With several copies, the nearest count.
Chain A
Amino acid sequence: MLREAVDSALANVVLTPAEPDPQALSRRHWSLAAEMGWTAADIDEAHGGLGLGLAYIADICESAGRHLFCGPFAETAVLLPSVAREVETLSALLPGVAAGDVRVAYAEASIPDGSGGSVSFAPVEHALQATHLAVIEESGGELRVLITDLDGAEISPLQSMDLSVSVARVVLPDPSRCPPITLGAEATRRVLSAMHIAVGADLLGVGEAALARTVEHVSSRKQFGRPIGAFQALKHRLADVHTALRTARLALAHGVGDGATFQDTRAARTLAADAAMRATATAIQLHGGSGFSWELDLHLFLKRARRLNARTGGTNRLRASAGNDYIERTIAARA
């Protein structure tokens, strides 16, 4: 299994709050990703890639979440190739992506039409490590995407909540150099599907790691003379976390399969985000005092889950659009 290979590669390069140097770690993670061919996984062979497809990407991203991978993996190795499949001109970047030389910073923001003057984006994730920037704006079922190199960009670091990612303000001096691309509804769904799987799998990994740490903790920590994991209320909460993660895993596996629809990938990401939020919050609660201490790495998972959960409007919005689609389809089928 690929997942085990990725896991074992990442297991020795871990972010710890005691050594909180995500920048240095990011460099090490990135060389690993390039060496192991992860950055080439979703790129076809014609562009220097391996053409392994979404199931491989999901495995890599899940491990990335589990090991708090520091670097713009999904943005570079999934988002950029998926946009490039729609916009031929971007495919020139793909060999660089495959080789690990391109790293893409990411922001969701409204994209000005760029007639004159510089334009500023904040917060931008991964900008301190990046060679390129992708800004996406979604509305009415269509994506506008701005992709540019960062030559001449002014990058000022901001404090990041999630230690596994750097955050910055990016000022582009001449945005007219890179006019935004508008993707049609079909193309938008294909691009978003790929990101739903990548982000959903990362969230699943985050949630699984939080659950595993919690099971270990409650099995050894004693209170009132018993391991606290023997208390039924804790058991039931963890059972529900397990079921939520298991459900997300089934949905992701289905979402990378043949014939999976946009609805399937969106549902998978929604379930994964909910499961990860629940797993990480439960982990903090059941660790008691140590759960919110900086020394333990638990909070890193909560913060990563929170960051990823905020993307493209958060699960509220993903969920609502899933519901709208189902309701409209059902009413239309009857009419």
Chain B
Amino acid sequence: MTRGPGFLRETGDEAFRAGLRDWLAAALPVAAGDRLGTADLHGLAFRREWEDHLCRSGLSGLGWPEALGGHALSLTRQAIFHEECARAGTPLPVNMIGHGIVAPTLIDYGSADQKQRYLPRILSNSEIWCQGYSEPGAGSDLAALATRAERRDDVYVLNGQKIWTSFADIADRCLLLARTGGGESPRAGISVLLVDMRLPGITVRPIRQITGEADYNEVFFDDVEVPADCLLGEENGGWRIAMAAANYERSTYFVPRIVRMQAELDALVLLAAGTFRHGQRLIDDPAVRSTVTDLSLNVQALRLYADRILEMAEQGVPPGVDGSSVKLLWSENHQRLLDLAMDILGPDVVLGPQERSAPAEGRWNRDYLWTRAETILAGTSEIHRNIIAERGLGLPR
């Protein structure tokens, strides 16, 4: 197997990291051209371009078995990959659900036919995936799922509505949870379907959010006929697959986010050091300094959580309530970081998130608004505190 750059075949993790770092340092400026250092680097167009470039260069299927065209990299190396991409300032991927969630789910639960049908197009990035979990009445409460798939001959007839579906507006396929059985328990009757987003009866409505952008969608299913061979695993056996799918990304999810957070904090310190207001360098304002200090301690601590979770995952141990602690610490401190950015920006906070004349082309303002969502999505802070108290400390429900 010799697909991809040579660093993939290094024997040591640190040599892998060094090679990757060199590769990124060379590849990103070439691919980005004059978008480098501008907000366009993080626009949807270049995000797709860059992801295609990675896949063309053989940098996909990192964790897949070699037999399926992957590199069989350890979780640690996958984490290093995401970490170094974050450190190099590459744009976020677009098909993160395809690569991060759908592919490992298919590898573990897909039929031979399904693997052959879907995996190569993820590897080449020619099909973008989304994930249909949340519903208007079932946010943090997956058991309340109401979308129904009724088996009629060789199709499932799908009716219902999903919400907060990232990338549904551009996705080719959707990994979707639907209710197929009556079931004694609410979890019993759930199945996973692999749905072609171009089937008749599917309507996608983008949800514009606080930033003015639409990162999410509502998806309506109106008598959509999904071929029966798009069922993943067993009928009514979807709960287990959904839980497993949620776990694949956990071990490498936070590493790049924490690296980015540290970079943001460093940038804020430099911004505050260069901003004079009312006769004082802002970095010398005790309130700014004190928040920077807290954040720097917490970002360091977050890194320890991420490393620990990765280490456990390598041994096959799920993160347990540490997963909730790290989500809370990350999202709440990220909010504080952007709150601090607003304090430092001062009068410039009145500028909109797409105002290119704003500091950092509006990214601070955009991220400030966006972080409001981070304590809500992927389990609200309230849910995660419940989990820690009930599962971690054993407090009564």
Contacts and interface: CB of A to CB of B under 8 A. Distances in A.
The answer to whether A and B touch directly, with their CB atoms under 8 angstroms apart, is yes
B318 interface: no
A310 B278 contact: no
A254 B393 CA distance: 24
B297 A267 contact: yes
A233 B306 CA distance: 28
A2 interface: no
Given A109-B347, A306-B349, A316-B285, A294 B325 contact: no
B325 A302 contact: no
Contact of A271 (B212, B301, B384): B301
Which of B139, B208, B289, B304 has most chain A Cβ within 10 Å? B304
Interface stretch (B58-66, B80-88, B231-239, B350-358): B350-358
B209 A292 contact: yes
A contacts with B: majority SS: helix
A206 to B, nearest CB: 15
Contacts of A240: 385
Contacts of B389: 229, 235-236, 238-239, 242
Interface in B313-367: 321-322, 325, 328-329, 342-343, 345-355, 357, 362, 365
A243 interface: yes
Contacts of A12: none
B139 A159 contact: no
Contacts of B6: none
Contacts of B269: 326-327, 330-331
Given A288-B139, A289-B376, A310-B349, A250 B301 contact: yes
Contact of B353 (A161, A247, A331): A161
A316 B304 contact: no
Contacts of B95: none
Which of A250, A253, A291 has most chain B Cβ within 10 Å? A250
Given A238-B395, A247-B329, A292 B385 contact: no
Interface string A317-330: 10110111011001
B373 interface: yes
Contacts, number: 225
A313 B349 CA distance: 12
A243 B388 contact: yes
A63 interface: no
Given A227-B396, A292-B372, A293-B208, A323 B296 contact: yes
A161 B277 contact: no
Nearest to A285: B375
B286 A229 contact: no
A250 B397 contact: no
Nearest to B383: A223
Nearest to A122: B357
A230 interface: yes
B171 interface: no
Contact of B328 (A229, A243, A295, A327): A243
Contact of B351 (A138, A167, A289): A167
Contacts of B294: 319, 323
A219 B394 contact: yes
Interface residues of B, number: 78
B287 interface: yes
B346 A322 contact: no
B41 interface: no
A119 interface: no
Contacts of A109: 347
A28 interface: no
Contact of B300 (A232, A267, A314, A327): A267
Contacts of B304: 247, 250-251, 253-254
B74 interface: no
Nearest to B389: A235
B9 to A, nearest CB: 27
A246 interface: yes
Contact of A215 (B163, B288, B386, B395): B395
B266 A235 contact: no
A284 interface: yes
Contacts of B293: 319-320, 322-323, 326-327
A309 B139 CA distance: 32
Contacts of B396: 219, 226-227, 229-230
Contacts of A147: none
Contacts of B170: none
Contact of A233 (B209, B288, B362, B382): B382
A334 interface: yes
A89 interface: no
Contacts of B305: 247, 250
Contacts of B348: 123
Given A238-B393, A319-B293, A323-B290, A161 B301 contact: no
Nearest to B390: A235
A231 B279 CA distance: 47
Q: Which 5 A-B pairs have the closest CB atoms?
A: A323-B293, A159-B352, A235-B389, A294-B208, A239-B388
21 contacts: A123-B347, A159-B352, A161-B365, A167-B352, A223-B139, A223-B140, A235-B385, A236-B382, A240-B385, A242-B389, A247-B329, A288-B376, A293-B209, A310-B346, A314-B343, A319-B294, A323-B293, A326-B293, A327-B289, A327-B292, A331-B269
